Chain A
Amino acid sequence: KQEVTQIPAALSVPEGENLVLNCSFTDSAIYNLQWFRQDPGKGLTSLLLIQSSQREQTSGRLNASLDKSSGRSTLYIAASQPGDSATYLCAVRSRDTGRRALTFGSGTRLQVQP
């Protein structure tokens, strides 16, 4: 059974810092890994999707890496801004036959102080 863990659970940094969020998963047989952002009272917004054959994806100040063999992914945020404050979730799609369910981590709550 796939399990996804995110560390740290919460993080507070001053504006301008570069930061790294971590995600680990127990079963490396995955189709992809997605990083989402959730703002309070809002839905989940997909930030980056990394296919199992890829090593990283970049979008603006965000860079996500994937090391499938070790079951790890990191989300790197460069030059953090107060608007980056949100909960960041990672989710994996496992290669369970016939199933398309995503397995989510519990998230990292990020606060960027102005």
Chain B
Amino acid sequence: EAGVTQFPSHSVIEKGQTVTLRCDPISGHDNLYWYRRVMGKEIKFLLHFVKESKQDESGMPNNRFLAERTGGTYSTLKVQPAELEDSGVYFCASSQDVAQDLLHNEKLFFGSGTQLSVL
């Protein structure tokens, strides 16, 4: 079974350009999460999809970030225009849907991440 796949693995762009990251979750996983790690800091939550719906986007830093999950399959995260502080590693994770009372057992599977460098 394929795991969570992300591409590109690396992206180097100039400030002001646009970049789109893609995540393919494990087949059948309704939950899809985006996280990022910047400047050696902790990994931080960005947003959460359930199928094609944004369930929680409280971690999105600003309106330069746009995430989509058309059809509830793969997801894209677009940064437009990119700024220097957007540099970091962007991780995607997925999990099977669980009922609210089973959240204690939800296990996330992470992709290898996209290393984004904004120059």
Chain A positions within 8 Å of B, measured between CB atoms, are 4, 31-32, 34, 36, 41-46, 49, 51-53, 89, 91, 93, 98-107
A46 touches B48 (CB 8 A): no
Task: Give Cα A43 to B113, complex, Å.
Answer: 6
> Can you give 30 contacting A-B residue pairs, CB < 8 Å?
A4-B42, A31-B104, A32-B103, A32-B104, A32-B105, A42-B112, A43-B3, A43-B4, A43-B91, A43-B110, A43-B112, A44-B93, A45-B110, A46-B108, A51-B104, A52-B104, A93-B106, A98-B55, A99-B48, A99-B56, A100-B31, A100-B48, A100-B56, A100-B103, A101-B33, A101-B48, A101-B56, A101-B59, A104-B44, A106-B42
| Chain A CB within 8 A of B111 CB | yes
Given A89-B43, A101-B45: A44 in contact with B59 (beta carbons within 8 A): no
Interface 1/0 per residue, B86-97 and A, CB below 8 Å: 000001010000
A25 to chain B, nearest CB (A): 12
Q: Enumerate B9-50 residues with CB–CB distance to A below 8 Å.
A: 31, 33, 35, 41-45, 48
Chain B positions within 8 Å of A, measured between CB atoms, are 3-4, 6, 31, 33, 35, 41-45, 48, 55-56, 58-59, 91, 93, 103-113
- Most chain A CB within 10 A, of B3, B41, B42, B103, is at B42
A100 to chain B, nearest CB (A): 6
Task: Give Cα A100 to B45, complex, Å.
Answer: 9
Q: A89-B43, A93-B106, A100-B106 are in contact. List 5 more A-B contacts (CB 8 A).
A: A43-B6, A101-B33, A102-B35, A104-B42, A106-B42
B16 to chain A, nearest CB (A): 27
